[in-house]
Structure 1
Amino acid sequence: MNRENTVQLESRARLIVRARNLTKIYGPTRANDDVSLTVACGDVIGLVGGNGAGKSTLMRMLCGTTPPDSGTIDFGDEAQTDSAYDAGIAQQRGIRIVHQELSLCSNLSVAENFYLEAPEDAKAQPGWRAVYRERARVALDAVFPGHGIDVDAEAGQLPIGERQMVEIARTVAAPGVKLVILDEPTSSLGLERSRQLRAYIHAKAVEGLAFIFISHKLHEIVDVATRVVLMRNGKLEWAGLATDASVPVLVRLMGGEAAAALREASDEHQGATGEVCLRLTGGAAGGDTIELRRGQIVGLAGLEGSGQKEVLHQIFAAARRSATKVERIGAVSFVSGDRQREGVFPLWTVLSNISIGSLASGSPFRLVTNAGEREIASNAAERLRLDSTRLASGILDLSGGNQQKALMARALVSEAPIILLDDPTRGVDIAAKRDFYKLVAEVARSGRLVLWHSTEDLEFLECDQVLVFAGGRVARELNGAEISEQAIVDASFVQPSNAAATSPSARGGSVFGRRVVQLAPFISLAIVFAAMMLANPATGSVFGLDLLLGPALPLVLVALGQMFVVGGSEIDLGAGAFAGLVNVLSATLLFDSPALGFASLTAAMATYSALGWLIQARRIPAIVITLGASFIWMGVGHTLQPTPGGASPEWLSALFTWSVPGVPTSLVLIVVAGFAAWVLDRSPLGVSLRAFGNNPVAMARAGWSAPRYAALRYVVAAAFIVTAGLALTAINTASDVNSGSSYTLLGVAGVVIGGCSLMGGRISPAGVVAGSVTLALIGALLGTLNVSSDFNAAVQGALLVVILALRALVTRNGSEE
């Protein structure tokens, strides 16, 4: 490409960013080769190219998440020479990106996700979320009028299309944004939402906001862009004004003349000639029975949220209480367009991600070899133009489009007679789509049924039959020559007389089950306490409560500290030992020499907090670091105090054993501890910590420092565990390094019973307090019932198993509906 022509095509408006000669090499692959690009205010650059052309790599370098091997990035008239250019600096310069793989934290609300994009406006005071609720509403209304999204809804509960809308809206609403990079922004949006987004881009470009719009939907590129840049094999292949580009021109430049035909003649389709392998009755099928046969390609069309996706999932895993009765003959294979949640196995290679489609249907004792997997996967990968040299790479090393090819290949290598496709070409380039259409036709001719949901109505022209959904059920069936884009659009707005609905009793049962699971730790506590009251009414007195809850306080504090660690998807195997060490330090050094004692406690907290930083900075598993640290805590404690002893400082005893008539001291302290944890969790810091526990990759992309917040997580945990050690000293009036040894596993049990997720991102301070107190009271209950304390651990374990089983049952029933 002539570099002088490129310069002439660049806007002479105020410069935002200039990338010069960027090169990025991964092994033998030059992902970007001497790429230069300039963006000025008001530019809307349409960036196109096939999967693996280098588009995403170039954008990651612009956003600071991937450092270039060579080349420079300048801002305005200022040269960027800092080698430490990263996502944080890019955001300070006004560059934001909406990644092809959504970067929301699914455990947070929509408003809280807006906070993550602009945390500088948050204040650690009640009501701080109101700022982000309003910002979310305004941004969503501006970009997607009539969106209907609740800003307090949990992001993970939204359909993928609405999640994409939220991410786009929060990015364009970020304060100080100058350049917004949209990577496949309409891949999960319907026609109307896509039109709204393009209209918004046109309006904001006039105001000076710049966009880079990456899409395989070339008609959108031609409509929205002022300039078009085409990449091929890691290089800039062509650049020009949008007025000089057209879909046929871009298709030819991307893949040659062979790729120009998006759809070849479908004369080879043979229609429904095979035996019936799927029947749908009632519910989505209305009062009729829909029979689908081998050899068919059946499209599921309709407006977003009309029920077609739900029917796909219902066919894949039929729910017993669904209104739609599914009768299928044979197994099914499912290809999801939502790669992150329902698609790839992120830790596996491309080869393993493909071959599992065939291996899962074979004997569980068969020998799996690399050669065997390659034999299974290579043919399907080749037919989809998936580079065979990348089969040994990690699946996440591929571009989003190539990941989708791997998922399609997985379905094709399976022996299932029914293949379910949920927007399978999301993020896939034109050449790959053409190959995929041919392949689907071949699969149908081989005697398999293909059910295909797509967000692109044009793709339904590849089908033999289209079921158009409206209001939760099939509004019209189109066959053969009846299938057209206009017919599909017309049928999508037809509202059936009786919309399909979920059974009220089923829905009510599901809600009741979830509520029971949420209240399980409180119900357990109530049952244990009621049993103790029946056995000994004096238990309910102020003295009785204080006597019972005093020993529970240290466990509650350790569990709350463990809760914040678990919220980051980690487990501290040294929490109990650390509490034991603090017990020793406070009963020896703090008693004998307060200044030295405080210094030693401060040093212990700093060392404990550094574990979080070390885990993230050096990428060492938390279980390894904390297990090793537990031996250190125990060793130091034994060195300072080989045998139990020491004494509690008077002021420390007074802090934990004060007395007010009519008030159980221990109960007040437990409530205060739980309230402090709740306040921390609801604060901006708590939201950030839960966000890291849910989606650390997204947080790093957004410029948040993982080591810093890991250290802060352990600072919070250390504060609770140190308080637990001090409580042990005050309550026992002496110290023993082994006094906290049981608290490590009991703390984890309290966290699990309390409703927290060991996978991270979800914590429940009130539930953890209730669960921990319940575990602590079980021993006292057994003693009251004259049962040997040898059964204490067994009863605690049984309680944990029962709650986990109940939680699993409710989760399964909820997924079936």
Structure 2
Amino acid sequence: MTALRNTQRETVGAPAGAEAGIAPFLALHGVGKTYGSTRANSDIDLMVVPGEVIGLVGANGAGKSTLMRILCGVTRPDAGRMELNGVALDPAAFTPTQARRHGIRIVWQELSLSPNLSVAENFYVEQPQFAGLSPLWLRSYDRLAAQTIERIFPGARIGTGRRVDGLSIAERQMVEIARAASDPDLRLLILDEPTSSLGAERSGQLRSFIKDLTAGGKTVIFISHKLGEVLDVADRVVAMRNGRLAWVRQARDTSIADLVEAMGGAGAGERRTAGSAVAAHAPVRVTLSGPHHEHSGAPIELRAGEIIGLAGLEGSGQKALLEALFSGRGGAGVARSGDVRYVSGDRGREGVFPLWSVLDNIAIGRIARRFGLSPVDDGAERAVARQRAGLLALDDKRLDSNILDLSGGNQQKALVARALDEDADIILLDDPTRGVDIAAKRDFYRLVRQIAQDRRLVVWHSTEDLEFLECDRVLVFSRGDIVAELEGEEISEERVVEASFLQPRTVRPATAQAGRGIGATLLKALPFVSLALVFAVMSSLNPMVATSFGLELLLAPAVTLVFVALAQMFVVGGSEIDLGVGAFTGFVNVVSATLLVATPLLGVGALIGGLALYAIMGLIIHARSIPAIVVTLGASFIWMGLGQTIQPSPGGESPAWLSALFTWSIAGLPTPLVLILLAGAAAYLIDRSPTGTVLRAFGSSGRALERAGWSPVRFAVLRYVVACLFATMAGLYVTGTNNASDINAGNAFTLLSIASVVIGGCQLLGGVIAPLGVVAGAVTLSLIGALLASLGVSTDYNAAVQGGLLIVILGLQALALRKRRHG
């Protein structure tokens, strides 16, 4: 597995594949990587041989993640050379795409799923080669996802149609592992902390799968701070320290103590004995009653000065209790007394502020709890943050670095430091040592003991049963209830595991999940309910509204807004906003009513030029990292200026063919209704196509998509081209139906399109869009004026009513999302 040139490194034995004469699949010789003055990797010699599990260990910041990024083409080394199947690699040409073509896949420590996509769609993003031209292309990924997840994690039962942001962190980790392992051309699977959020059962299933995988000639690099798992699954173990390989040994000749020594620290295992006696007469901070006390028949009291562990199989209710304690909305069964602080184990989604420095991430905890208008002394706040960072042994030289520049374990330290307020009575810990190395855990355990000694209650959920030896009491959960309470000498790994499989006396129905499902359904139905209500009121006031003629008159003005709103929707799907889409619609209106009539070739050229400029906007925004609102706002002035130059005052006429394009009729159906349905269907098909799936994915997790080999610039250009096509149709429709043009005709559509997108159920950030909802929202807004006229109200109130409707729907959406998150 490894050839070591440095004589100070310790090498025991040779790779199993080498003994059998098997040529290495991948070889690194003297590879190094420097970031500024930091030497992340230095003089790395590594041979990856087929059919072997390589265990890689090292403290946070030892260089493991950098080395893995080099292996999968994300990071380019600046020293040494690489060989793949005996052929020298050009580091400049070795990209994530090239690595994937050679069968190299990685599961990142910071999960890289797209939360706005379904499980099956995330499998497509990772394995696009299976998508065909059929409109039912996603079915093959449903099957692939279901089969792979069941093969690795039997009984997981993760619905492939579920959106990832609705999965637990353990379920997301299982999905990420399964989609990487589903590659039929897999040669090397890199697993970076793959069991950090998995319980003992799922971790065991994964290790069994790894052994089966390598028995078939594949290679696995297994990186974990759970050292027992490393020794269980690995054939050989490589230890890293300070960016270098420290030693490599056969796993059978290595002990946990050896690994701890190599990583420079000691771990859990020292039982805490003093806390319980001290806490016996301390104030009660939490009382658990109702369904939580079935095992004893009496309420459970958690007191100041105690460390309380929450154990059980993943998803058994531990996290739900933490959330109830933090929110203060635990119902009759959970009572809390005192101020509370929460440390999330899901640092990517609930923890770090990715654009801020380490110090700012720590300081925000204190600042956010101050009075809203009170002055903030930046120097004082940063001094306190620096002192807290010192308690957790964070590197003082890196406190001003961006939080994402730190390793995952050091990011977690920053989150713990944020929670260390003097006035906090209760500290809630949600698997806080996930992905943290042994030395960092030692600092953390010491700090937890100090917190308890300061007469504060610590409630600690962990997926590592060994950590419960640090606790005074352990509450073991099963199916949402506490089924056992272990204390003092009763606490052991064996007792915790045994109690985790106990069944509660009564099984409570999953009403919370049902409520969240109903809330999500109502949230999606809001734009359609709004449209139905508006139309019902208008029909009751004037029955002619429901006739074909009435629909023709009512929906004709709505067509333009529908096209513009759909254009805006695709831009919003990339977590951006187009502030020039209305002006562009006016520009197309002018060109089609003037140049297309007088000089058709020049007119067509102008429209093609507009499409090219839209594509260039996407290129500039992403290639130069300029905010979209800046570029599109500037573009709006260009469109307005060009339109004014071509036609200084309203006028012009529509080409005969253009008028005919929008005045036909099918089976007596109103033309505007047919156009609206066609526009909605086109947008829906684009959104649900493989290309549309990637566009949405970039809106929520662009960095992950780029790591997966997708081009962010290419899809940015494509996004703006699609938006431009819809906006062009809007401008052509205005000309074809009005038989005239005005550069100012599109001014109102920019803000109305944003309102339509929001009312339609889209989110301005995160890549969540809803084509049919946007159509319903746009039609609803366009009917407001006609509704006011039917009620005898001046249309001067049109904008006010539109804004009021927007606010009401936003409020209902916020309420539904809140219920979805908190059950």
Say whether the fold is shared (TM-score over 0.5): yes
1:587-666 → structure 2 map (5 Å cutoff): 587-660=593-666, 662-666=668-672
Structure 1 residues 694 and 195, CA, compared in 2 at 3 Å: closer, same or farther? same
Of the three residues 424, 427, 435, the one matched with 1:419 is 427
Identify the residue that residue 444 of structure 1 maps to in structure 2. Answer: 452
1:358 aligns with 2:358: no
Summarize the Cα distance change of 1:6–1:707 in structure 2 as closer, same or farther, 3 Å threshold: farther
Equivalent runs, 1:196-235 vs 2, <5 Å: 196-235=205-244
What's 1:346 paired with? 354
Contact 2:312 2:497 in 1 (8 A): yes
Out of 120, 127, 130, the position equivalent to 1:118 is: 127
In 2, the alpha carbon distance for the partners of 1:539 and 1:486 equals 72
Residues 1:80 and 2:95 aligned together: no
Question: Residues 684, 43 of structure 1: CA spacing in aligned structure 2 closer, same or farther, 3 A cutoff?
Answer: same
Counterparts of 1:508 and 1:455, CA distance in 2: 27
Deviation at 1:265, TM superposition (A): 5.0
- Structure 2 residue corresponding to 1:32, chosen from 41, 52, 73: 41
> In the alignment, what sits opposite 1:9?
14
Identity of aligned residues (%): 56
Secondary structure in 1 matching 2:728: helix
Q: Is the 8 A contact 2:271 2:470 kept in 1?
A: no
Q: Which residue of 2 aligns with 1:474?
A: 482
Displacement after TM superposition at 1:660 (Å): 4.3
Distance 1:548 1:783 in 2: 12
1:137 aligns to 2:146 (yes or no): yes
Q: Give the residue type in structure 1 aligned to 2:743.
A: V
Tell me the TM-score normalized by structure 2.
Answer: 0.95
Q: Is the 8 A contact 1:318 1:816 kept in 2?
A: no
Secondary structure of 2:41's counterpart equals: strand
Structure 1 residues 109, 420: CA separation in 2 closer, same or farther (over 3 Å shift)? same
2 CA distance for matches of 1:764 and 1:746?
A: 16
For residue 414 of structure 1, report the CA deviation from its aligned partner.
4.9
Q: Does 1:316 align with 2:326?
A: yes
Residues 22 and 69, structure 1, Cα contact 8 Å, conserved in 2: yes
Structure 1 residue runs of 5 or longer lacking an equivalent are: none
Question: How far apart are residue 131 of structure 1 and its match?
Answer: 1.0
* 2:291 corresponds to: 283
1:59-458 equivalences under 5 Å are: 59-81=68-90, 83-255=92-264, 259-260=265-266, 262-271=268-277, 272-273=279-280, 274-286=282-294, 288-319=298-329, 322=331, 325-458=333-466
User: Greater CA deviation, 7-16 or 658-667?
Assistant: 7-16
Q: Is the 8 A contact 2:573 2:696 kept in 1?
A: yes
Shift of 1:146: 1.8
Alignment match, 1:674:
680
Contact 1:298 1:450 in 2 (8 A): yes
Counterpart amino acid of residue 460 in structure 1? F
Question: Residue 316 and residue 680 in structure 1: after superposition, are their counterparts in 2 closer, same or farther (change >3 A)?
Answer: same
Aligned partner of 1:696 among 702, 716, 728: 702
Q: Distance in 1 between matches of 2:392 and 2:51?
A: 38
* Contact 2:60–2:410 (CA under 8 A) maintained in structure 1: yes
For 1:566 and 1:542, the matched residues in 2 are separated by 34
Partner of 1:810: 816
| Counterpart Cα distance in 2 of 1:534 and 1:147 | 52
Task: Specify the code of the residue in structure 1 equivalent to 2:131.
Answer: A
* Correspondence 1:787 to 2:787: no
- SS of 2:376's partner is coil
Aligned-partner Cα distance in 2 for 1:113–1:65: 20
**Structure 1: how far apart are the matches of 2:792 and 2:821?**
43
Letter in 2 for 1:394: N
Q: Distance in 2 between the 1:568 and 1:723 partners?
A: 21
In the TM superposition, residue 82 of structure 1 has moved relative to its aligned partner by 5.0
| C-alpha deviation, 1:514, in angstroms | 3.7
Separation of aligned partners in 2, 1:695 and 1:613: 18
Which of the residues 713, 731, 734 maps onto 1:725? 731
Q: Deviations over 1:544-581 (max 9, x none)?
A: 11111111111100001111110110000000111111
After superposition, residues 576-587 of structure 1 pair within 5 angstroms as: 576-587=582-593
- Output the CA distance in 2 between the equivalents of 1:285 and 1:87: 52
Q: TM-score, normalised by structure 1?
A: 0.96
Query: Do the aligned partners of residues 86 and 380 (structure 1) sit closer, same or farther apart at CA in structure 2, a change above 3 Å counting?
Result: same
1:176-214 Cα deviation digits (max 9, x unpaired): 221111000000111111111111111111211111111
In the alignment, the residues of structure 2 paired with residue 82 and residue 290 of structure 1 have an alpha-carbon distance, to the nearest angstrom, of 60
Query: 1:263–1:434: 8 Å Cα contact kept in structure 2?
Result: no
Mean alpha-carbon deviation: is it higher for 131-140 or for 723-732? 131-140
| TM superposition shift of 1:91 | 1.3
Q: Return the alpha-carbon distance in structure 2 between the equivalents of residues 190 and 567 of structure 1.
A: 35
Q: Which letter does structure 1 place at the counterpart of 2:483?
A: A
Residue of structure 2 in register with 1:41 after alignment = 50
The range that moved more, 115-124 or 70-79, is 70-79
Q: Give the alignment partner of residue 773 of structure 2, picking from 749, 767, 786.
A: 767
Letter aligned with residue 420 of structure 2: L
Provide the aligned length of Structure 1 versus Structure 2: 810
> RMSD over aligned Cα, in angstroms?
1.8
Give SS of 1:238's match. strand
Q: Partner of 2:534 in structure 1? A: 528
Tell me how far 1:270 sits from its aligned partner.
4.5
Question: What does the per-residue CA deviation read over 1:195-236, in whole Å, with 9 as the maximum and x for residues that have no partner?
Answer: 111111111112111111110111111111122111111111
Whole-Å Cα distance in 1 between the matches of residues 191 and 478 of structure 2?
30
1:783 to partner: Cα distance: 2.3
- Return the offset for 1:366: 4.2
Q: Which stretch shows the higher mean deviation, 61-70 or 542-551?
A: 61-70
Q: CA deviation at 1:661?
A: 5.6
Q: Quick check: 2:564–2:581 contact (8 Å CA) kept in 1?
A: yes
- State whether structure 2 residue 691 is matched by structure 1 residue 685: yes
Distance 2:634 2:610 in 1: 15
Asked if structure 2 preserves the Cα contact closer than 8 Å seen for 1:190 and 1:304, the reply is yes
Give the Cα separation in 2 of the matches to 1:18 and 1:685: 36
2:116·2:766 contact (CA, 8 Å) conserved in 1? no
CA contact (8 A) 2:270 2:470 kept: no
3-state SS of paired residue (2:275): coil
Distance across 1 between alignment mates of 2:482 and 2:276: 24
Displacement after TM superposition at 1:115 (Å): 0.5
CA distance in 2, matches of 1:591, 1:804: 44
Larger mean CA deviation between 622-631 and 377-386 belongs to: 377-386
SS of 1:15's equivalent in the other structure is: coil
Query: In the alignment, is the contact (CA less than 8 A) between 1:299 and 1:463 conserved in 2?
Result: yes
Whole-angstrom distance in 2 between the partners of 1:814 and 1:698: 26
Confirm or deny: 8 A CA contact 1:437 1:462 kept in the other structure: yes
**Residue 419 of structure 1 aligns to a residue in which SS?**
strand
- Is 1:559 aligned with 2:581? no
Contact 2:5 2:45 in 1 (8 A): no
Say if 1:358 and 1:415, in contact at 8 Å, map to a contact too.
no
Cα deviation, residue 640, structure 1: 0.7
